[in-house]
Structure 1
């Protein structure tokens, strides 16, 4: 296996810019890795090999003429198969759209291609992004590269696995209650959910328009910043986007002196496995050793706010799928059918009150964060469980029991998951940082400084567990 497949976007881009590596050569390496291991891991629904090579050839010609579009020029990226891709089918992980080939790209995909990223394929996901496991009854269940019997997290499980195993250098994921950050944590990679409104959702099949986010999934925090810089920006086709000119690219922090990290233990450590807790506590101590101060705080109304998230999400997703269900109801997976029953029972009064609860909770949380830089806690509080062990009626609560990611979605605040260690079973654990609105750069800076103080990212290259299963 080529070490190049596990290098960073940042360093690989420099090789391409200096003409030491061609986009075609790099793309062929990624495609070879996909051919070698994807049949075992089920990270992709569609591999766009011909399109990727064509893109790579055009970008190589540009490079030969000293035209370099930026740090994503010639870099293979995978897109979660819920975002539209021009000329490449977009299934949403469902049989309902199994033959749909869009005629235009989602805004984020368009921006990445313009920046020189090569779209190497479409990543597997939990059907319509409505679950935390990426157990897909239609396209195969994605497997965790650290233990093939276990889930990789979801719903962006395929994107996380592709990034963790060298099939792609980064990915575009979506996050409604943790669907970028949970699989990133469980696969040992980086996942970033930006501030609501920073990145367009145009061209993304919706789960919940009030809670959905599109964001990058990479192997390092700096690579996430590189992708986010291209992805962000106002979009006339998505009225929730905001016009902000401040870049998310950053200079590395010199230290964490003076940084105050808020920690609400009753929520962040509820339901946590001791094996996971010990890893997170070591990460907390590392942050303190680096100069940060961890400050106990309160988050009044958090339980009501999380209940409001469930009400908003399930109501909005039921509304979107209602016309499809009338025509394709039998084509949906069993866990989704159960979810829709819940969503249909929500009244307009309950939905409106949920939004009121949300607004009040955001207001109260901002008060708690006035003198803080970020909130911290674990991303996942449980290790990934075995594939095939979850009943459909239990699946609706997985995101809330497996991790602490939904908090950042009800807030709409930026949130990063970065690997902070491994359990005794050698399963990754994620550290979560949640910032104030549009403090995305600061969240990335703190995460970057912590990441560089450890060496967890190197474990991805060393992991050979999934290779043993390949015939």
Structure 2
């Protein structure tokens, strides 16, 4: 089992990978965990093709929360979130392209870690795994306690544990961005802002005007890359995914070139933003619940508006569960840092739990 130090105590963490495999060789990430002494007790299912934010699955059944079967886990790392929530694992492997770690962590009351795109990048680290959209795909973890994050990241990525930074400048999204949030989410947002000021940290609102195009840029490039990877097999997927793949295939080379220019412009503006602040605080989703059996088609874009800015910039992010500070269940926040600042982010997040 993986042993990790926390407050001078030793934890033994069984982990679950989020993607089923029938191969004869372990994926890179699974082998890393086994080499560190982890026990992998099982494998879990996910949203088909990892191309969805709800956790619905027409082949294996929609993934509901063990805590409350009327609620979906969120996705795409749906089975991973369910396994940690029910206690069959203390941590689980997942991926995050547009929010697939952050959203299920938030909705299921868990901690989550999405690695920097640079940390997750490379053929070796995706050995034994399948891409959805390489421009944005990252690896990550779902777990219960923020204090476990540094040890887990160290075991997989060799990210060194560093002292928690202090006197941070934290930018947060303003009312113009959170206008569609449920009251419970706004309550948790306010509670986490208060907690952060006690660290101490300086909180300032940020200008998110340039985020308005983030979902369009993200969804288009994602669909184009997914379509290339799965060309000739669209008919094997559920209708919503097949339609996205067909749309992605219709995006022309000239359109894609323009989209990538817009992506680079977005990343440049995010780099400038991180000259003003050290971290960003954003709700993971404007909702705290996805009810099983209901039409979720409208929810996808509502949630992705909150998660895609982090994805476009390739930022590392940690999900802060609402319940960790007494806020309503399902109201997780995403705390994001500049690219490749994973160690400092994880250490700071761990310091927020008393």
Q: Same fold (TM over 0.5)?
A: yes
CA gap of 1:293–1:376, structure 2 versus 1, over 3 A, is same
Whether the 8 Å CA contact 1:144–1:150 is kept in 2: the answer is yes
* 1:154-233 matches, cutoff 5 A: 154-199=75-120, 200-232=125-157
Is residue 112 from structure 1 mapped to residue 21 from structure 2 by the alignment? no
Whether the 8 Å CA contact 2:113–2:149 is kept in 1: the answer is yes
Shift of 1:112: 0.9
CA gap of 1:428–1:195, structure 2 versus 1, over 3 A, is same
Larger Rg: 1
Find the aligned partners of 1:423 and 1:189 in 2 and give their Cα distance: 12
Aligned to 1:321: 230
Structure 1 gaps of 5+ residues are 1-7, 16-70, 82-88, 91-100, 234-246, 454-471
CA gap of 1:163–1:293, structure 2 versus 1, over 3 A, is same
Aligned to 2:315: 413
Find the aligned partners of 2:134 and 2:258 in 1 and give their Cα distance: 17
2:161 to 249, 266, 270: 249
Find the aligned partners of 1:343 and 1:232 in 2 and give their Cα distance: 32
CA gap of 1:291–1:445, structure 2 versus 1, over 3 A, is same
CA gap of 1:178–1:379, structure 2 versus 1, over 3 A, is same
Residues 69-101 of structure 1: per-residue CA shift (max 9 Å, x gap) = xx76xx3210011xxxxxxx52xxxxxxxxxx2
Find the aligned partners of 2:181 and 2:312 in 1 and give their Cα distance: 21
* 1:261-280 matches, cutoff 5 A: 261-265=170-174, 268-280=177-189
Shift of 1:364: 1.1
Residues 186-221 of structure 1: per-residue CA shift (max 9 Å, x gap) = 111111111112132232211101110011211122
Whether the 8 Å CA contact 2:111–2:145 is kept in 1: the answer is yes
Shift of 1:270: 3.5
Is residue 390 from structure 1 mapped to residue 291 from structure 2 by the alignment? no
* 1:85-164 matches, cutoff 5 A: 90=21, 101-164=22-85
Shift of 1:128: 0.9
Whether the 8 Å CA contact 1:178–1:399 is kept in 2: the answer is no
Whether the 8 Å CA contact 1:362–1:411 is kept in 2: the answer is yes
Cα RMSD of the aligned pairs, angstroms, is 2.5
Whether the 8 Å CA contact 1:177–1:406 is kept in 2: the answer is yes
Shift of 1:425: 10
Shift of 1:156: 0.5
SS of match in other structure, 1:182? helix
Aligned to 1:358: 263
Is residue 79 from structure 1 mapped to residue 17 from structure 2 by the alignment? yes
* TM-score between both structures, scaled by the size of structure 2: 0.90
Residues 401-456 of structure 1: per-residue CA shift (max 9 Å, x gap) = 36722211100011111113389995321121110111111211221122x14xxx
Aligned to 1:307: 216
Q: Which has the higher contact order (CA 8 A, sep 6+)?
A: 2
Whether the 8 Å CA contact 1:181–1:193 is kept in 2: the answer is yes
Find the aligned partners of 2:305 and 2:321 in 1 and give their Cα distance: 14
Whether the 8 Å CA contact 1:300–1:364 is kept in 2: the answer is no
Residues 101-133 of structure 1: per-residue CA shift (max 9 Å, x gap) = 212221111111111111111112100101011
Whether the 8 Å CA contact 1:305–1:357 is kept in 2: the answer is no
Whether the 8 Å CA contact 1:248–1:440 is kept in 2: the answer is no
CA gap of 1:349–1:267, structure 2 versus 1, over 3 A, is farther
Shift of 1:147: 2.5
Whether the 8 Å CA contact 1:377–1:433 is kept in 2: the answer is yes
SS of match in other structure, 1:385? coil
CA gap of 1:137–1:13, structure 2 versus 1, over 3 A, is farther
2:343 to 434, 437, 441: 441
After the TM superposition, which of the residue ranges 288-297 and 212-221 deviates more from structure 2?
288-297
Aligned to 2:274: 369
Aligned length: 348
Whether the 8 Å CA contact 2:67–2:86 is kept in 1: the answer is no
CA gap of 1:305–1:366, structure 2 versus 1, over 3 A, is same
